[in-house]
Amino acid sequence: MMKKHLGRWKALLYKDICDLRWNGQILFNLIGAIFLISILAVVPEENLSLSFLLGFIFVMLTMLMQGHLMVEEQEQRTIRRLKQAGFSFKEIFLSKMLVTFTVTIFVLVIFSVLYGNHFFFIVKLFILVLPIVAIMLVVGTILGIKTKNTIEISLYGTPVILFYFFIEGLLMNSSKDSMPWLAVFPNYHLHYGIDQLYLNEPFLSYLAVPAIWMTAVIFLFIYWYKKQKY
């Protein structure tokens, strides 16, 4: 039974990985994200914060890629075939989440190398960004479920992108005490958590609020998903 279950997952993952080669929108986002962070990595951090640069990975890659992977099944009308083959809708979107997460980590490694960070800094950074990556995976999945094509993914994802970078802009142009209300957003804790990493100070306290956001988003998604008919 376990072998059969693993075989099903391997089949789904193999299909999604193969689909990456032919999905122009995903390749565009992937290449665009790598190109953009490669260019911006040379900008002094006093002019452009690390958390701002990471935002391009979270929204341009993680969120949009997950949405495009989900919606392509509707565009190609393969979702019904997968269900007829015995795959549940939960298995389908979880496999796509795994692919998107893996690609995100791959790009983060490239980004960290370009930025000249040492190994332990990179590991701590991965821990710090994990809740936000999880949130973007869930948001991307919802976009992919509720939209009909890649155009709608970009359309409905734009408010999320604008809001994310609006908060980042406020953080870059304010001090830690000038806008204390920003502490309710996970961006705030990533922004100042990275400062802790550079100072080699404890950073785990900056995971609390993002972890609460992540838990709330996942809980709401599960609650919403159970009410859907798939």
Predicted confidence band of residue 133 (pLDDT cuts 50, 70, 90): very high
pLDDT, residue 40, reads: 65
- The structure's pTM equals 0.86
Region 148-159: what's the mean pLDDT?
Answer: 87
Predicted confidence band of residue 1 (pLDDT cuts 50, 70, 90): low
In 41-185, alpha helices (H): 50-56, 64-75, 79-84, 89-114, 119-146, 150-172
Region 143-155: what's the mean pLDDT?
Answer: 86
Residue pair 186/213 in contact by the 8 Å Cβ criterion: yes
pLDDT, residue 177, reads: 79
The whole-angstrom separation of Cα 26 and Cα 22 is: 9
Predicted confidence band of residue 159 (pLDDT cuts 50, 70, 90): very high
At 179, list the tokens.
């806008």
pLDDT in tens, 93-117: 888 899 899 888 888 887 777 776 6
